[in-house]
Structure 1
Amino acid sequence: MTILTDQGEAAPGAQPFFDLARLISPINPETFRRDYWEKQPLLVEREDPHYYAELLTLDDVDQLLFLAGANLDCIRVVVDGEETPVEDLGNHGPNGRTAILEALYARYRSGSTIVLNALERRWDPLSRLTTQLSTEAGARFQVNVYLTPGGGAQGFKPHYDTHDVFVLQVHGTKRWRLYGSPYPLPFQDQPYDHSAAEVPDLEREIDLTPGSLLYLPRGTVHAATSTDSASVHITLGVHPVLWSYVLQQAISKVAAEDVRFRTGLPFGFVGDPELQQEAEKTLVDLLRSVVDQASPQAAIHDAVDRSVSISAPRLRHHLTDLEAVSGVGPDTKLRRRPDLRWDLKLTEDRVRLSFHNKTVEFPLHVADEVTYVAQSDGEPISPSSIPGTLDQPGRLVLIRTLLREGFLTLH
Structure 2
Amino acid sequence: MNSSALLRLVSKFDEFEKHWEEKPLVSRGLGDFGDVFSLDGLEKLLEDGTLRKSSVRLFRGGEEIKTDLLFRRRGGLDARAEPTLDPAKVAQAVESGATLVLEELGNYCPQVAEFATEISGGLGCHTYCVAFLTPAHGRGAPAHYDAATTFLRQVYGSKRWRIGRPVQRWPRRPWNHTEVPLDDVTEIVLGDGDCLYLPRGYVHVGDATDEASLHLTIGLRPVTWEEVFHSLLSRAADEDERLRETLPLGFHDPDEDALEHVFADKIRAVGEFLDGLGPHQADERIRQVFRPKAVERLEAKGLLRSVLAEPG
| TM-score (norm: length of structure 1) | 0.64
- CA deviations over 1:30-83 (Å, ceiling 9, x no partner): 4423x111111111122x7x5323322222222221223785542211224433
| Aligned residue in 2 for 1:86 | 67
CA distance in 1, matches of 2:228, 2:298: 33
**Between Structure 1 and Structure 2, how many residues are aligned?**
301
- Is this contact kept in 2: 1:143–1:236, CA < 8 A? yes
| Structure 2: gaps spanning 5 or more residues | none
- Is this contact kept in 1: 2:98–2:140, CA < 8 A? yes
CA distance in 2, matches of 1:324, 1:94: 33
Match of 1:134 among 120, 138, 148: 120
CA distance in 2, matches of 1:132, 1:93: 37
Greater Cα radius of gyration, structure 1 or 2: 1
Q: Closer, same or farther in 2 for the Cα pair 1:81/1:300, shift >3 Å?
A: farther
| Aligned residue in 2 for 1:57 | 38
| Aligned residue in 1 for 2:165 | 180
CA distance in 1, matches of 2:170, 2:197: 14
- Is this contact kept in 2: 1:108–1:114, CA < 8 A? yes
| Aligned residue in 2 for 1:9 | none
CA distance in 1, matches of 2:182, 2:308: 59
CA distance in 1, matches of 2:265, 2:232: 19
User: Given the alignment of the two structures, is residue 253 of structure 1 paired with residue 235 of structure 2, yes or no?
Assistant: yes
| TM-score (norm: length of structure 2) | 0.82
**Cα root mean square deviation, aligned:** 3.2
Aligned AA (1:177)? R
| Aligned residue in 2 for 1:14 | none
Aligned AA (1:116)? L
Q: Closer, same or farther in 2 for the Cα pair 1:90/1:130, shift >3 Å?
A: closer
Aligned AA (1:275)? A
Which structure 2 residues correspond to residues 275-354 of structure 1 after superposition, within 5 A?
275-294=258-277, 297-309=280-292, 311=293, 313-316=295-298
| Aligned residue in 1 for 2:225 | 243
Secondary structure at 1:249 match in 2: helix
| Aligned residue in 1 for 2:213 | 231
Deviation at 1:87, TM superposition (A): 4.0
Deviation at 1:132, TM superposition (A): 1.7
Secondary structure at 1:264 match in 2: coil
Q: Which stretch of the first structure deviates more once superposed, 227-236 or 262-271?
A: 262-271
Aligned AA (2:49)? A
Secondary structure at 1:300 match in 2: helix
Secondary structure at 1:234 match in 2: strand
| Aligned residue in 1 for 2:16 | 32
Deviation at 1:324, TM superposition (A): 9.0
- Is this contact kept in 2: 1:147–1:231, CA < 8 A? yes
Match of 2:88 among 95, 102, 105: 102
Deviation at 1:225, TM superposition (A): 0.8
CA distance in 2, matches of 1:142, 1:193: 19
Q: Closer, same or farther in 2 for the Cα pair 1:300/1:82, shift >3 Å?
A: farther
Query: 1 or 2 for the larger relative contact order (CA 8 Å, sep ≥6)?
Result: 2
CA distance in 2, matches of 1:62, 1:221: 30
- Is this contact kept in 2: 1:70–1:100, CA < 8 A? no
| Structure 1: gaps spanning 5 or more residues | 1-16, 328-411
Which structure 2 residues correspond to residues 147-166 of structure 1 after superposition, within 5 A?
147-151=133-137, 153-166=138-151
- CA deviations over 1:254-309 (Å, ceiling 9, x no partner): 11221211223343442433234324433442342332244553453344445335
Deviation at 1:220, TM superposition (A): 1.0
- Is this contact kept in 2: 1:177–1:202, CA < 8 A? no
Calculate percent identity across the aligned residue pairs: 29
Match of 2:245 among 263, 272, 279: 263
